[in-house]
């Protein structure tokens, strides 16, 4: 999953604009209220040339608002300082919300040029705010006098959040140190962006061709048809072309009978952004690590890992690593059993060669078929994307929370493939706008994610409801065959929708605390807990209908699906936990410039594998050169472990539904009120305990994964 949390102030640090600085703001779509009921951006009217004038105006607006806060002669309080700050930058928020969506979903060459050109300007704007001594003095006064000012707990929470954000962004530094930090942030923004662009380039442009149809044996027909289309697009009609995007890579590794084809795919993917001078991310990794180390030292931390874990539930790198190792040890033991089963199967079917990493998915699928008489091919015809959405995630949300989804075919869209829904609460009142964008495009980033184009808040008599979107890269339809999902894809759709529910259901008054603006430790819990409803029989039977016949998925297949749910969990856990540990190893070291100057990225990864005794047939879920979560931004840098931390909360939390019933109203109401609606209004553990009635333990997660 890919997910970015932002507030108005944070937006300025990570978003970007178009580069026609001469265009007037007159008739600029961003400069006035959008002329539709729910404030959906008029995508058809927005041009590249609109962004820079709007951002310039937005910066001017926000600076004026900040200046007004500073010059206010009244005693600083919550309303005239913290709330005013939380609601500053309306124009920037509008521009950034649209631009972030398009930069990930329709990242054309023009868009890439825009981001590379204007990122430093927006980074400087963010730094200027967070390092503004006069503004910080006002915030600190409110923070220090919170009790005297009679602030309620939620107001104190928002005040504390802003105070800590200022401190973590250098407010306590000397002027010279602030200048250094600004330069570090500027450079980080540039290198982060280059890192992400290199990945997108390689995944879309690094293509290998097949000219012998015999090599395609075992592949689903839709994959073959799409490969033929891609080859024709590349000027080689009559051949088949493959790139390493997930929608193509996983079917090839899972079903291709040709080991040569599997090896080509595996090598293409695992060398993403690590070959050739122009698109190799090795130097970017070195630069990012050095800059982060310098930033951590400036802010008083020994390593970037100390800096990154400090504000969250783990608090220290050791605590995070201890959690990971509780999962790691049983996971690698399980891998040994899985590999032995696969090697035994291969030998029994005439393959005496040692199984390689490129064979793992293939033989895992074969063993699953033999052990459970079950294959992904058996269930894919029952998982049409449209049904999974309308009869799966929407159905479950209605049963749990009473919300409904009405498609708005005439609503503005940033791409024709996008679908837009009016979401209403149980009383029929507008709750949110929800957009879905599930199919891959060459200009779309890999993976799946949720984000908010507009966040929820109440201010100045306005009750602003959010605009939320889910994006994915599911299998393309082919001819009369719709997009058919793997079981993993189905869980991904439910996962990202869990994030969407967190954003849509929020009832928090203040933007900085609303929706998914929570601690990273908690933010993955709603997404991961929502995956459980994909398994629930009542939900499964509602969305799993054969795309040709309409037949409901047979009980025999459901039974096999459940029986095989823990299959291959050693591998899946090892690649995930391994990636989190590698992230931790990169960032827990106090790097020097000399150490980083000539470090070999692949050699470092191998050293980590050796220290962890990582099984040879398992690769990190993401190798460093394409580990976008931790190197394309700071969002999950030394924070990938939080996926596992949240899974502990999720596994323990879902036990409440298991005991009471998956649609038990009292349990669903408690979960909605204390987690989905509450945002960041209280400490995450307080909210969790209020819902669950106890602190979480790792036991449920180990049981769910068949590791205990």
Q: Which residues pair with 462 in a beta bridge?
A: 459
Cα gap 295→301, rounded to integer Å? 9
d(CA 315, CA 296): 15
Cβ–Cβ under 8 Å, residues 460 and 534:
no
Rounded to whole angstroms, the Cα distance separating 94 from 446 reads 25
Alpha carbon distance 422, 405 (integer Å): 6
Cα end-to-end distance, the chain, whole Å: 26
Tell me, letter by letter, the H, E, C secondary structure of 324-357.
HHHHHHHHHHHHHHHHHHHHHHHHHCCCCCCCCH
> Rounded to the nearest 10 degrees, how much is the dihedral formed by the CA atoms of 669, 670, 674, 676?
-40
Per-residue b/e over 315-347, b at no fewer than 16 CB within 10 Å?
A: eebeebbebbebbbebbbebbeebbebbbebbe
Q: What share of the chain is helix, strand, coil (3-state, %, to 5)?
A: 60, 5, 35
Which of 496, 524, 619, 650 is catalytic? The answer is 496
Largest Cα–Cα separation, the chain: 84
At residue 237, φ and ψ (nearest 5 deg) are -60, 140
Q: Count other C-beta atoms under 10 Å from residue 26's C-beta.
A: 7
- Asked if 157 and 43 count as a contact pair (C-beta separation under 8 A), the reply is no
Q: In terms of Cα–Cα distance, which of 213, 218, 211, 219 is closest to 237? A: 211
496 classed as catalytic: yes
Q: What element of type H or E holds 434?
A: strand 430-437
SS3 431: strand
Q: Which residues are catalytic?
A: 496
């Amino acid at each position: 999953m890919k997910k970015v949390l932002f507030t108005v102030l944070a937006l300025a640090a990570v978003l970007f604009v178009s580069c026609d600085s001469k265009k007037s703001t007159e008739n600029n779509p961003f400069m006035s209220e959008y002329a539709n009921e729910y404030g959906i951006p008029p995508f058809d009217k927005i041009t590249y040339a609109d962004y820079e004038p709007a951002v310039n105006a937005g910066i001017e607006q926000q600076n004026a608002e900040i200046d007004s806060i500073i010059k206010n002669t009244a005693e600083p309080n919550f309303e005239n300082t913290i709330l005013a700050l939380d609601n500053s930058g309306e124009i920037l928020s509008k521009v950034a919300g649209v631009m972030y969506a398009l930069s990930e979903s329709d990242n054309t060459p023009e868009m890439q040029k825009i981001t590379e050109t204007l990122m430093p300007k927006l980074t400087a704007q963010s730094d200027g705010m967070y390092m503004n001594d006069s503004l910080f003095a006002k915030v600190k006064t409110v923070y220090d006098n919170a009790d005297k000012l009679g602030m309620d707990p939620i107001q104190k929470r928002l005040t504390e959040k802003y105070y800590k954000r200022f401190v973590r962004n250098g407010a306590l530094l000397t002027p010279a140190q602030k200048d250094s930090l600004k330069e570090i942030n500027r450079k980080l923004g540039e290198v982060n962006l280059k890192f992400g662009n290199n990945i997108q380039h390689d995944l879309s442009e690094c293509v290998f061709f097949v000219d012998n149809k015999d090599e395609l044996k075992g592949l689903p027909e839709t994959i073959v048809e799409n490969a033929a289309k891609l080859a024709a697009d590349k000027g080689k009609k009559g051949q088949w072309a493959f790139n390493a995007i997930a929608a193509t890579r996983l079917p090839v590794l899972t079903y291709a009978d040709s080991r040569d084809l599997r090896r080509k795919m595996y090598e293409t993917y695992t060398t993403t952004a690590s070959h050739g001078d122009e698109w190799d991310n090795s130097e970017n990794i070195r630069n990012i690590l050095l800059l982060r180390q310098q930033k951590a030292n400036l802010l008083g931390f020994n390593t970037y890992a100390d800096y990154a874990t400090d504000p969250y539930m783990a608090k220290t790198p050791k605590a995070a690593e201890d959690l990971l190792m509780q999962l790691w040890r049983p996971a690698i033991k399980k891998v040994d059993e899985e590999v032995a089963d696969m090697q035994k199967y291969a030998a029994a079917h005439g393959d005496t060669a040692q199984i390689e990493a490129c064979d793992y998915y293939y033989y895992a699928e074969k063993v699953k078929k033999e052990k459970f008489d079950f294959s992904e091919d058996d269930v894919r015809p029952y998982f049409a994307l449209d049904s999974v959405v309308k009869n799966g995630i929407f159905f479950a949300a209605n049963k749990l929370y009473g919300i409904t989804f009405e498609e708005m075919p005439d609503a503005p869209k940033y791409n024709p493939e996008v679908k837009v829904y009016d979401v209403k609460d149980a009383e029929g009142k507008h709750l949110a706008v929800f957009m879905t964008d599930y199919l891959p495009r060459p200009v779309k980033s890999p993976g799946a994610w949720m984000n908010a184009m507009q966040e929820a808040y109440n201010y100045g008599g306005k009750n602003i409801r959010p605009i939320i979107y889910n994006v994915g890269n599911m299998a393309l339809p082919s001819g009369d065959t719709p997009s058919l999902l793997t079981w993993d894809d189905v869980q991904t759709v439910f996962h990202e929708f869990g994030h969407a529910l967190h954003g849509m259901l929020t009832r928090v008054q203040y933007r900085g605390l609303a929706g998914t603006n929570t601690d990273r430790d908690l933010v993955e819990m709603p997404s991961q807990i929502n995956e459980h409803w994909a398994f629930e029989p009542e939900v499964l039977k509602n969305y799993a209908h054969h795309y040709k016949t309409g037949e409901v998925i047979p009980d025999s297949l459901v039974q096999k699906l459940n029986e095989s749910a823990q299959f291959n969990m050693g591998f899946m856990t090892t690649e995930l936990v391994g990636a989190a540990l590698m992230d931790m190893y990169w960032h827990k070291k106090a790097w020097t410039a000399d150490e980083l100057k000539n470090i070999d990225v692949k050699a470092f990864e191998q050293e980590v594998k050796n220290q962890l005794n990582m099984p040879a047939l398992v690769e990190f879920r993401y190798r460093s050169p394409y580990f976008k979560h931790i190197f394309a931004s700071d969002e999950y840098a030394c924070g990938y472990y939080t996926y596992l931390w949240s899974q502990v909360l999720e596994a323990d939390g879902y036990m409440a539904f298991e005991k009471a019933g998956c649609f038990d109203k009292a349990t669903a109401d408690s979960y909605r009120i204390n987690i989905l609606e509450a945002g960041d209004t209280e400490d995450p553990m307080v909210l969790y305990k209020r819902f669950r009635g106890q602190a979480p333990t790792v036991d449920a997660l180990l049981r769910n994964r068949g590791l205990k």
